Amino acid sequence: MIHVNENYAKLQASYLFAEIARRIRAYEAENPPRPIIRMGIGDVTEPLPPACVAAMHRAVDEMAARETFRGYGPEQGYAFLREAIAANDFQARGADIAADEIFVSDGAKCDTANIQELFADNIRIAVPDPVYPVYVDTNVMAGRTGPAVDGRYAGLVYLDGSAENGFVPPLPAEAVDLIYLCFPNNPTGATATREQLTAWVDYARANKALILFDAAYEAFIRDPSIPHSIFEIPGARECAIEFRSFSKTAGFTGTRCAFTVIPKDCHAYTAKGEPVALHPMWMRRHTTKFNGVSYPVQRAAEAVYSPEGQKQVRDIIDFYLGNAAIVRETMRKLGLSAVGGENSPYIWVRTGGSSWDFFDRLLRECQVVVTPGAGFGRCGEGYIRISAFNSRANVEEAMARLSALRAAE
Ligand SMILES: Cc1ncc(COP(=O)(O)O)c(C=O)c1O
């Protein structure tokens, strides 16, 4: 008899964004009085940078001619892209990362989910709360948790984020083996200082733990004192894996290209306590289960690092940060406290009360979609996430609608 993976039955409700889409569809069927503005899902709205488009066109032409056609490429990515990443994203910032420590992939979402294949079933896992739901749900699917009780899975160590700690999770009181960190943070927009990241690296080294560092929003950092990579912190090569993506950096959400950095010094341990390097393990996994990102997409990603590409990417991100500033300013005028939005595309707004009720109210009364904080964990209750990924006209219209609702109260 074929048995199902019963861990799936432990998952709570549907994936957050599927539930949001369901509520929007139900409301749309009632013919809302004006178009709905979506400030919820963190998908980009600006087109690909022209330098990336030109590089992709050239690569498509190469694929069209017998002399320059390419079939399967290296599973871990073409050298031209890995070298550009290592030089620009790491070595230029003083982070000692080599091209062969980079694995190009089709998404940080799948990499953050798949990486746990390398670890034993019985490890202790710490996740921040609020949290990007993928880290939690994929561990539930893999059977690393017990059932959910009051919205939290038994067996996970939750690190509570709050206004008091600036949504930078505190070190765990107990010893844990695997720690998920995400900075700039989704959903709170928080960033971690060099001192805070150093405390995490020191903790991981002292406990022989591993940090999974998700830096998908790194390109939004404008404050020069904030590290872009965990590998800017001494000692991180031994105890951290970093995930990056071109999705938010260069508008690749529909194009798909990302990468994972596993330094050769990074180890986990056998049950007997013997160190095992994670780089060859991931290489084995990647080459066995993945056949590489398409050549035109890797050429487009490489173009991000050209002088024109760098300028275009910066301009696009400046545009989103301009949206974020408008949202922050509106929240301030409305008397709502908000964090994020300065080195991040997300603004995390304290609303009080039930965040799903607030979501429904904004949908029905303003025809504006935000993301309810409760969807990111218990500590997200009483908050909403507003995304800066939108046209300027939509951001201004959405903020005008929210202001009008407040004025009518
Ligand atoms: C924190 C975080 N990591 C990863 C991803 C997904 O990145 P990708 O598009 O590369 O799969 C997202 C997307 O929203 C994200 O918010």
- The percent of residues above 90 in pLDDT, for the chain, comes to 93
- Nearest Cα neighbor of 12 from 380, 374, 391 is 374
How far, in Å, from the CA of 110 to the mean position of ligand 1? 9
Q: Distance from first CA to last CA of the chain, Å, rounded?
A: 60
List, for residues 31-50, the tens digit of each pLDDT value.
889 999 999 878 999 999 99
Report how far residue 285's alpha carbon sits from residue 304's, in angstroms, rounded to the nearest whole number.
27
Report how far residue 56's alpha carbon sits from residue 128's, in angstroms, rounded to the nearest whole number.
38
Which amino acid appears at position 286 of this protein?
Answer: H
Q: Which of 33-42, 74-83, 193-202 has the lowest mean pLDDT?
A: 33-42
- Nearest Cα neighbor of 217 from 389, 48, 82 is 389
List, for residues 200-221, the tens digit of each pLDDT value.
999 999 999 999 999 999 999 9
For atom 2 of ligand 1, the residue with the nearest CA is 216
Residue to mutate (ligand 1; options 127, 138, 245; most atoms within 8 A of CB): 245
Report how far residue 251's alpha carbon sits from residue 273's, in angstroms, rounded to the nearest whole number.
43
380 contacts: CB under 8 Å, gap ≥ 6: 129, 130, 187, 355, 372, 373, 374
Give residue 67's pLDDT band: very low, low, confident or very high (50, 70, 90). very high
Predicted confidence (pLDDT) at residue 181 exceeds the cutoff of 90: yes
- The upper half-sphere exposure of residue 292, i.e. CA atoms within 13 Å in the direction of its Cβ, equals 18
- The upper half-sphere exposure of residue 293, i.e. CA atoms within 13 Å in the direction of its Cβ, equals 28
Torsion 215-105-187-403 (CA) sign: positive
List, for residues 216-240, the tens digit of each pLDDT value.
999 999 999 999 999 999 999 999 9
How far, in Å, from the CA of 183 to the mean position of ligand 1? 12
Residue to mutate (ligand 1; options 104, 132, 346; most atoms within 8 A of CB): 132
How far, in Å, from the CA of 109 to the mean position of ligand 1? 5
Ligand 1 cavity residues, CB under 6 Å: 42, 107-109, 132, 182, 186, 214, 216, 245, 247, 253, 258
How far, in Å, from the CA of 246 to the mean position of ligand 1? 9
Report how far residue 399's alpha carbon sits from residue 58's, in angstroms, rounded to the nearest whole number.
41
Predicted confidence (pLDDT) at residue 408 exceeds the cutoff of 80: no
